[in-house]
Chains A and B, each alone.
Chain A
Amino acid sequence: MSKIQSTFAQLKSENKKALIPFITAGDPHPDMTVSMLHALVDYGADMIELGIPFSDPMADGPVIQRASERALANNVGIKKTIKLVKQFRENNTKTPIILMGYANPIEAIGIDNFVNLIKDADVDGVVTVDYPPEESKEFVSLLRKNDIDSIFLISPTTEDTRIKLITSQASGFLYYVSLKGVTGSSNIDIKQVAERVMNIKKYSDLPVAVGFGVRDSETAKQVALISDAVVIGSRIVLEVESSSQENILVNIKKLMDEIKKAIS
């Protein structure tokens, strides 16, 4: 059983929902990423999504775009991101880490090389935004061979036949994109999200996480009621961006506390 699966199983037995914060590796500075990861765990993160900086993040809104630009300005790319996970693992072998990024950096270093590196760093899952199941068969089978979960996005426009295709390739959990748009977009329609999540569950026993439009504790609370996990991305990255360096962790803690309370 993968760490992602066992974490979900454990939470389920306690009747709890997973909180999955997102930060971009190297933002605001590579020296801070590892301590931020540990802090997120202390503040109640059940798993963490770590963004791989990319020059052309087409599915991201302005907040995560700027995070990527800051990270790239610090020379943090895909290899450094994996190194940071490895450093985090020196003091945490339990919390699942999911890398989120785009296909080009992965192919640029080679998919075999990428999988070897993340295996060595004990990464648990990968979300590749622009790698639909049709174009990523080789990559997914390579991940599977190495017991790393392939996490796929399902969107409001995904039809049932595609949900079947996606769930046949996915493992760990399914990531439901709560709205039509980029990361950090405005308000989600919770009733519609609930219907879609229920529909996905007709086709798969995998846990369903919801993200892309969760901006406050009230939304997080509602999302937690109808899914297995809440992903908070742009809202946290916004704290990273707007806080002075010494206040980043304080402000993230405040946000995490509110959300943790709302979803438990």
Chain B
Amino acid sequence: MQAYDLPDAFGHFGQFGGSFVAETLVEALDELKEMYDKFKDDPEFLAEFHHDLKHFVGRPSPIYYAERLTNKIGGAKIFLKREDLNHTGAHKVNNTVGQALLAKRMGKPRVIAETGAGQHGVATATIAARLGLECVVYMGSEDIKRQSPNVYRMKLLGAKVVPVESGSKTLKDALNEALRDWVTNVSDTFYIIGTVAGPHPYPMMVRDFNSVVGKECRTQMPDLVGGQPDAILACVGGGSNAMGIFYPYIDDKSVRLIGVEAAGHGIETGMHAAPLTANSPIGILHGNRTYLMQNDEGQIIDTHSVSAGLDYPGVGPEHAWLKDSGRAEYVAVTDDEALKAFHNLCLIEGIIPALESSHALAYAEKLAATMPKDKIILVNLSGRGDKDINTVAKLAGLTL
């Protein structure tokens, strides 16, 4: 039993979280809360969830000792939680399996999703195909350009991909458009949010479904090294992979939890996606109160990151709370640092990591160098980088 028990009944993590939505969605969220409460501890539901995670997703994912990378840096040992080996190629699938099973139990024949990098869209399209649900994915037109392989993947899986042309044409606008769809089709549609943001109960529910990652680590690490790691690192956009691996460790204060945000061109340039590291003000977006990149009149400002999955002006409310409480630390690495770590992992370990996960890897390299060799760093390798090869090639001046 964990001592940590947030959020409260209204979805508050201290002053963060909550439910700030238009009236039409209140009943849908109440229904979702009720059904999630009913099923989250239901043995039959959990058995089905874990059956799918094992046989459809391929869990548990292994933890891999990156020995050559460790030796090259010459500090703490770096271990990788291999979420990149999941079916569909990222941690995102854990949550979509859970939410889609819930949609099925609630009798909703249609699911919608927003996506940035496309991983959540692919994961949703995948599980929708498996369960025979209609699937519509909203994606910013900028992201569609950056992540074309994932767009085609979603189409192959039978999903309709709707380009979003409003605002900055990225993840936040896709979320706005998905919310508009949900308001309109609320009776027959389940909105599968892909990150630990949105109104209550999403931040809690998405965390819970992803916490299978951290739970596995808790049993795998003692088998591998005889104890828990000294530090756990994960990249943070909205923050779902980080919450998934952090959550089972929150009460275990001997383990440092470090979230790595996207510093883009550098925090000082303003062109980044790191609201926690940059000390952005508190605000309200997409149904919750959190740290938010905005101007002094509350307009959300454009973000920048080389990785579409981190290109988000807010952050899950639980991360805001973990930052304020001091339980987790948040840092940021630039596009260039992430790209360097991306190439390092390709060349030294034979693993092509997602650009999102490359942010966590970049900080792991920095941190490992400052720690003794008997210390252990566990990095959530949240996804694989096949989807990013066009972006990386373009930055190198190549066209594939």
Give the interface of A toward B (CB within 8 A). Answer: 53-59, 61-62, 65, 69, 72, 77-79, 102-109, 129-132, 134-135, 152-159, 162, 166, 177, 180-182, 185
Contact = CB atoms under 8 A, between A and B. Distances in A.
A161 B176 CA distance: 28
Interface stretch (B33-41, B98-106, B130-138, B179-187): B179-187
Contacts, number: 119
A92 B55 CA distance: 70
A103 B285 CA distance: 9
A105 B301 CA distance: 12
Given A132-B19, A132-B21, A157 B166 contact: no
Nearest to B281: A108
B152 interface: no
B313 to A, nearest CB: 9
Most buried by B among A62, A157, A158, A185: A157
Contact of B187 (A130, A158, A180, A182): A180
Contact of A79 (B10, B172, B297): B297
A153 B292 contact: no
Nearest to A80: B297
A181 B18 CA distance: 22
A71 to B, nearest CB: 11
B186 A177 contact: no
B23 A158 contact: yes
A109 B298 contact: yes
A130 B28 CA distance: 15
Interface string B1-38: 00000000010000000111111101110000000000
Contact of B297 (A69, A109, A177): A109
Contacts of B281: 108
B298 A78 contact: yes
13 contacts: A53-B299, A56-B173, A58-B176, A59-B183, A65-B166, A77-B295, A108-B296, A130-B22, A135-B18, A155-B22, A155-B27, A159-B27, A180-B183
Given A57-B176, A59-B183, 7 more contacts: A108-B296, A135-B18, A152-B23, A156-B24, A157-B24, A158-B26, A185-B184
B287 interface: yes
A55 B296 contact: no
A105 B297 contact: yes
A132 to B, nearest CB: 6
A104 B294 contact: yes
A177 B167 contact: no
A53 B185 CA distance: 26
A108 B184 CA distance: 29
A137 B166 CA distance: 32
A69 B287 CA distance: 21
B394 to A, nearest CB: 28
A185 B185 CA distance: 12
Contacts of A69: 166-167
Q: Which of A62, A102, A109, A130 gathers most chain B CB within 10 Å? A: A130
Contacts of B166: 62, 65, 69
B297 A130 contact: no
B27 A157 contact: yes
B270 interface: no
Given A103-B284, A129-B22, A130-B284, A78 B297 contact: yes
